[in-house]
Chain A
Amino acid sequence: MSVRKRTLVTAAVFVFGLLLAAAGARAGENAVIRDKGAVICLECIGIG
C-alpha cells in the first residue's frame, strides 16, 4: 500500500477515536468515570 493510503487509514482511525471520545464526553461519561475513579477501588487493593 502506498504511503498516502496508509497515512489516510491511520488518520481515519485516529479521527474516529477522537469522535468516539467526544461523543462519550457529550454523553456525560466523564462524570461516571470520575464517580468510580475518585473512590478507592476495594477489589483493586485486595478487599472484597
Chain B
Amino acid sequence: MIHVPAPDPFTVFGLQRSMDVDERALEQRYLKLSRECHPDLHRQQETGDCIAVLQRAAEINDAWKVLRDPWQRAKSLLELASPGVLDREKKLDPAFLADALELAEEVAFANGATINPLRERLERAIADDLEALHGAIRSGEHALAARRLHASHYHRKAMRDLDAKS
C-alpha cells in the first residue's frame, strides 16, 4: 500500500500559507467544508467513497484544530516553509534557560498575593512571544521564529502550572 501523506492544513482549507487568517472567515469555511462531507449527504454511495468522505472529514477536523490556534498555525507554517527548522533550532540560549528555571521556581513557590502579579508578567511574556513569532515568520526569519516558538513553551508551561495552583 502506498502511504499518502496528509495534505497540510492550509491546502485542506484552500488557504494561502500565511500567519494572517481572518478567524471568522476561517470558521465559516470550516462549517461549509464540514457540511460538504457530512455522512448524511453521502449515504447512497459506494463503500470506497464512504471511506474517502470520512478521511476528508478527518482531514478537515485536524486542519481546523491547527489553523484556529495561532501557536499551532505558526508551527505548521514554519515546518512547511523550512522543514526541520524546529529540530535544528532546539538549542536555546543558556541565559534564557536559567531565567526559565527561575520562573518555574517562582511559580512553584507562588501563593496568595504573588500569584496575580506573576500571572500578569506571564501574560505579557506570552503575548510578546506570539507577536515576535508572527513578526519573524512574516519577515522570513525562520530560525529566529523557531527559537521563539520553543522559548514560548516555557512561558506557556509556567502559566499552566500557575493556573493549576489556583
Genuine A/B complex: no
